[in-house]
Chain A
C-alpha cells in the first residue's frame, strides 16, 4: 500500500544574481552574446590571474538571506571545489562550504492544512561554469566561457517538504521574494533559477529518514512535480519488493518522464574543498546588514496588504497579481495612468495569463507597456472599440507592444455608430435566418442571442451588441419589415 509512505523532500536551488558584472571579474553577465565575448583572463582561468569579489554579489546574497529570515554570518569564506571538467576554466569552482554567508532561515508556504514553515539550511555564494557544445559528429567539443563566473547563490532547504506541491509552493515563494528584491529574474526557462530535488520515502509516522536520491536536470515546475511523483513511486516500488534505495544522483529525462542514475555513492567525487587562498575572508559589518535591511523593497505580504487598502481588489486578484513582481509592476504602473484597478486586474488575470500559458512564457517576458494597456482600457471605456475588438488588439500588443490607439485608427477597427449601416446589417441577418426569426416570434427568447451573434459577425465585431439587440427587437416586432 503506497499510502503508508511519507515523501521527504529537500531542495537545492541555484539562483543567478542580477549583477551587471561577474562575481570575480568585470565581465558582463548579459545573457546570450557570441561565444567567449564576455570573458577576460580572470574568468578564463589564465595563469597568474586572481579573483576579486564583486561586492554587489554579497549585497544581493545578504538581501535574500534577510528576506528568508536567515542568520547572516559576520565572517565567511570562499572555498575551492576541485574537479576537472572543461566548462570550469580553473578546474575548481569557487564556492562556500565551511563558512557560508547565511544559515538557519525559513520561508512560509501555504498548504491545504494552513501555513507551514520550510527551513533553509544555508545560502552560499558561488560562480557558474561555462557551457559546452558537443559536435554532433563527435569529433570535438567547444566551450563558451560567457557564463563562467556569473554569480550564483545556492539555497539549501531543510528536508521539510512532504509533497511535490509543497516543493513548488516553496520554490514559488523563493522566486517571488527574490524577484521582489531585484536580486534575480528567476527565469527557470533561461536557467537563472534551477532546482535539484533530494527525495526519500519512509513509513508514515517514522522519524528516521530513508535513503535519499538527488535528482538533477529539472527545468520547470512541471518537471519537478513529475519527477517527485516518479521518484517517490520508484523508491516505494524498490522498498516494497524488498530492495533498498541507493544513495545516488539521478538525472531526470523530461521527454521519457523517467530518471537515470548519474553517479552512485561509490564513485562520488572527492572535491577536496579547502579555503581559497586568493580571496580574503569576507567580514560583514552590522552597518552593512542594517543598510541592506533598511533598503529592502516592499515584499509580497506588505504589497498584498497595500493592494487591499488602496485598490480594494478581491483577494483572488491580489494573490495572482502579486505572485509575480513584474506583473505587479505592470499593474501598478497601469493603474497610475488609468485609475481603473479592477479593469487592469481583469486584463492581467484574464488575457495576459492566458497568453503566457498558451505561449509557454514567463511573466518576466511580458513586453507591452503600461501606457498601451491603459490606452486600450480607455478605448473600451470610451466605447471607441468593443471588447471583442479589444481582445484582438491586445493579442498584438502582447506580441509586439503596438500602440492600440494608432493601430485601431489605422486598421479601421472603431465601433460602427452609423445607424443606417447597423439597420442594413440587421435586416440582412433577419432575411437570411428565417428559422431563428420564427423561433423568436414563437416566444423563444434565446433565438435573439443567435441573431445578435450573426449580426456582430457580419460587422466583424465592430458594433455595440446592445444597440444591435435593440435594433433587432424593433425590427422583429414591427410586422412591416418583412
Chain B
C-alpha cells in the first residue's frame, strides 16, 4: 500500500480501520522529505523525532477510541505565521528568529482536537508579504512541478508541501490570495473561507481585516473536510462569527444543474496569458456541460481593487508589525545606543526589504495629512468593491476566473519589479476586500507543463456552493483526463 498516494480523507479512513497507523503516515512523510526537501525546501521547521512522538501519542488515542473523526492521525503542515505552542514560529523573518510561542492558534488547536498531527512549519514570504515565497529569510521554496519556478506565495511552502506529497494537507493564510495563488501555481486545491469563519487567534497578523486561515489540500473532498474542522466561533477573536452551516462535506455533490456562473470580462482580458485563458474557458465548458449556465459580465471597479488593497493592507501591517521592536522577543540588534537606536537597528536588521517597503507605505498612508486622501479613500473603494460583488451575486451564484494572469513565474523574476508582482494579485484580492469565500482548483497545464488554477468566488457564507461547483468540476475532469492529482 502506497501511503503517499492517499488523500487526507483516504488516509484517515485507513488509519481508523487499522490498516495504517499515524506513525506509518508520519514516517512516510519524513521519508519523502528526505528525498525531496533538499530540492523543494517547503519547510522551515520539521523535527522528525518530535513529529513521530506526536504521531505515536495520537495513534494511542485512536486505539483507545478517543479519536474517531476524520483527520485523526493525518500529518499536517502549518504555515509558519500560525502559532504552534512550543514550536518555533518565525513568519519566515529574521525578526522572529528563535521565537517559540507559549500558545497555539485556535485553528491549530481545532486540528489537534480532531487528531491531525503536526509535521512542521512551512516556508512563506516574510510576514506573508509577497507572491512567490522568495522574501523568506530562510531561503526560497521551489515549485515541485518545476524547480526553476516559484511555488507562488505567500503560502508557497504549504502549497509545495501538498504538491510534493511532503504532507497530506496544509494550513495557509490568505490576505490577498496567499492560499489560492500558490495552490494554483502548484496544482493543488486551496480555499479562503468567508472572513470570520476561521479564528485568527494565533495567526500573526499581516492585515487583520483581510487575513483568513484556510486549507491547502490534494482535492476538494479534503478541502471541505478540513474546513469543517477549522471553522469555529472563537471567543478570543472578536471578528470570528457564529455559523450553523459548517457541515461543508455535505456540499460534495456532483451537480451544478441550474447554477448561474459569471466570468468578469476583465478577468479574461488584457494581461492574461493565453494558455491560462484557454484553460479557464475549457473549465467553463465542463461546468456548462454539467448543467450550469456560464456567461461573461462586467464586474465594476476591478482596476481599483489593487491600489485599495495595497493601501489598506500596508496601513494595517505598519501598525500590526510595530510590536516587533526587539524589546520583548525576537531579534535585537547586537550594538545599539539608547532606546531609539535599539528600535531602529533591530527593525532595520530584522525585517527584509519587502516588509520594510510595506511598513513605509502603510505608515505614509496613515500619516497626518494623507489619511483622508489614501486610507479613508481606500476604505470607500473597499465598500464599493463589496457593493459591486453584491450586485454580481444578485445575478450569479458564483463568479469564476483564473487565480492569476499567468502560471508560476521563474525564480528571481518577480522581485525585480514589485509593482508588476502586486498587479499579478488582481484576481484574488477582491475576495479579501469583500470578505468573500473563494477556492482554487487545478484546471490543467500551460504549454510548459505548469499548472493553471481555476478560481471560484462565492457570496459571503456560500462556501457550500463553491465546494459543490469545485467538486463537480474536479470529478468531471477526472473522468476525462484521469487523476489530476498525480505529479
Residues of A within 8 A of B (CB): 41, 44-53, 80, 82, 84, 86, 89-92, 143, 270, 272-274, 277-280
Q: In the assembled complex, how far is the CB of residue B177 from the closest CB belonging to chain A, in whole angstroms?
A: 19
Complex Cα spacing A51 to B320, Å: 13
* Cβ-neighbour of B366 out of A84, A272, A279 (below 8 A): A272
Q: Tell me whether A50 and B371 are in contact in the complex, defined as CB-CB below 8 angstroms, given that A82-B319, A274-B315 are known contacts.
A: no
In the complex, what residues of B have CB within 8 A of residue A91's CB? 322-323, 325
Cβ contact within 8 Å between B236 and A48: no
Cβ contact within 8 Å between B371 and A47: no
Cβ contact within 8 Å between B363 and A86: no
Q: Is the interface of B mostly helix, strand, loop or mixed?
A: loop
Complex Cα spacing A41 to B366, Å: 27
Task: Please give the number of chain B residues whose Cβ is less than 8 angstroms from any Cβ of chain A in the complex.
Answer: 44
Does B200 lie at the interface of the complex (its beta carbon under 8 Å from any beta carbon of A)?
yes
In the complex, what residues of B have CB within 8 A of residue A80's CB? 319
- Interface-central residue, B103, B318, B323, B366, by most chain A CB under 10 Å: B323
Cβ contact within 8 Å between B209 and A48: no
Cβ contact within 8 Å between A47 and B89: yes
Does B83 lie at the interface of the complex (its beta carbon under 8 Å from any beta carbon of A)?
yes
Complex Cα spacing A463 to B212, Å: 83
Q: In the assembled complex, how far is the CB of residue B278 from the closest CB belonging to chain A, in whole angstroms?
A: 39
Does B250 lie at the interface of the complex (its beta carbon under 8 Å from any beta carbon of A)?
no
Does B203 lie at the interface of the complex (its beta carbon under 8 Å from any beta carbon of A)?
yes
- Of all chain B residues, the one with the shortest Cβ separation from A268 is B368
Complex Cα spacing A90 to B102, Å: 17
Complex Cα spacing A50 to B213, Å: 15
Cβ contact within 8 Å between A89 and B323: yes
In the complex, what residues of A have CB within 8 A of residue B323's CB? 45, 47, 89-91
Complex Cα spacing A478 to B327, Å: 89
16 A-B pairs with C-beta separation under 8 A? A41-B102, A47-B323, A48-B81, A48-B83, A48-B205, A49-B202, A50-B239, A84-B325, A86-B339, A91-B325, A270-B368, A273-B366, A274-B315, A274-B375, A278-B239, A280-B239
* Cβ-neighbour of A84 out of B89, B101, B322 (below 8 A): B322
Q: In the assembled complex, how far is the CB of residue A247 from the closest CB belonging to chain B, in whole angstroms?
A: 15
Q: Tell me whether A278 and B208 are in contact in the complex, defined as CB-CB below 8 angstroms, given that A49-B201, A50-B236, A52-B236 are known contacts.
A: yes
Complex Cα spacing A84 to B368, Å: 17
Cβ contact within 8 Å between A46 and B329: yes
- Interface-central residue, A84, A270, A274, by most chain B CB under 10 Å: A274
- Of all chain B residues, the one with the shortest Cβ separation from A44 is B328
Cβ contact within 8 Å between A48 and B105: yes
Cβ contact within 8 Å between B367 and A50: no
Complex Cα spacing A279 to B237, Å: 8
In the complex, what residues of B have CB within 8 A of residue A53's CB? 238
Cβ contact within 8 Å between B202 and A48: yes
Q: Mark B348-376, 1 if CB is under 8 A from A, else 0.
A: 00000000000000010011100100010
Q: In the assembled complex, how far is the CB of residue B379 from the closest CB belonging to chain A, in whole angstroms?
A: 9
A-B CB pair tally, cutoff 8 Å: 99
- Interface-central residue, A44, A45, A46, A270, by most chain B CB under 10 Å: A46
In the complex, what residues of A have CB within 8 A of residue B375's CB? 274
Complex Cα spacing A92 to B103, Å: 22
In the complex, what residues of A have CB within 8 A of residue B366's CB? 82, 272-274
Cβ contact within 8 Å between B83 and A84: no
Cβ contact within 8 Å between B237 and A90: no
Q: In the assembled complex, how far is the CB of residue A125 from the closest CB belonging to chain B, in whole angstroms?
A: 14
In the complex, what residues of A have CB within 8 A of residue B315's CB? 274
Complex Cα spacing A80 to B375, Å: 14
- Interface-central residue, B99, B202, B322, B324, by most chain A CB under 10 Å: B322
* Cβ-neighbour of A41 out of B81, B103, B238, B327 (below 8 A): B103
In the complex, what residues of B have CB within 8 A of residue A143's CB? 327
Does B469 lie at the interface of the complex (its beta carbon under 8 Å from any beta carbon of A)?
no
Knowing that A48-B203, A80-B319, A277-B209 touch, tell me 10 more A-B residue pairs with CB under 8 angstroms. A46-B101, A50-B201, A82-B366, A89-B323, A91-B322, A272-B366, A272-B367, A274-B366, A278-B239, A280-B239
Cβ contact within 8 Å between A47 and B96: yes
Complex Cα spacing A48 to B339, Å: 25
Q: Tell me whether A92 and B322 are in contact in the complex, defined as CB-CB below 8 angstroms, given that A41-B102, A45-B328, A47-B96 are known contacts.
A: yes
User: Which residues of chain B (68-96) have a CB below 8 Å from chain A?
Assistant: 81-83, 89, 91, 96
Cβ contact within 8 Å between A277 and B208: yes
User: Which residues of chain B (454-474) have a CB below 8 Å from chain A?
Assistant: none
Cβ contact within 8 Å between A272 and B204: no
Cβ contact within 8 Å between B319 and A272: yes
Complex Cα spacing A92 to B323, Å: 8
Q: In the assembled complex, how far is the CB of residue B381 from the closest CB belonging to chain A, in whole angstroms?
A: 16
Q: Mark B372-390, 1 if CB is under 8 A from A, else 0.
A: 0001000000000000000
Cβ contact within 8 Å between A280 and B238: yes
In the complex, what residues of A have CB within 8 A of residue B322's CB? 82, 84, 90-92
- Of all chain B residues, the one with the shortest Cβ separation from A52 is B238
* Cβ-neighbour of A50 out of B200, B327, B363 (below 8 A): B200
Complex Cα spacing A273 to B372, Å: 12
Q: In the assembled complex, how far is the CB of residue A263 from the closest CB belonging to chain B, in whole angstroms?
A: 14
Does B316 lie at the interface of the complex (its beta carbon under 8 Å from any beta carbon of A)?
yes
Cβ contact within 8 Å between A52 and B235: yes
In the complex, what residues of A have CB within 8 A of residue B82's CB? 48
Cβ contact within 8 Å between B236 and A47: no
Does B343 lie at the interface of the complex (its beta carbon under 8 Å from any beta carbon of A)?
yes
Cβ contact within 8 Å between B202 and A277: no
Cβ contact within 8 Å between B329 and A92: no
Complex Cα spacing A41 to B328, Å: 11
Q: In the assembled complex, how far is the CB of residue B386 from the closest CB belonging to chain A, in whole angstroms?
A: 15
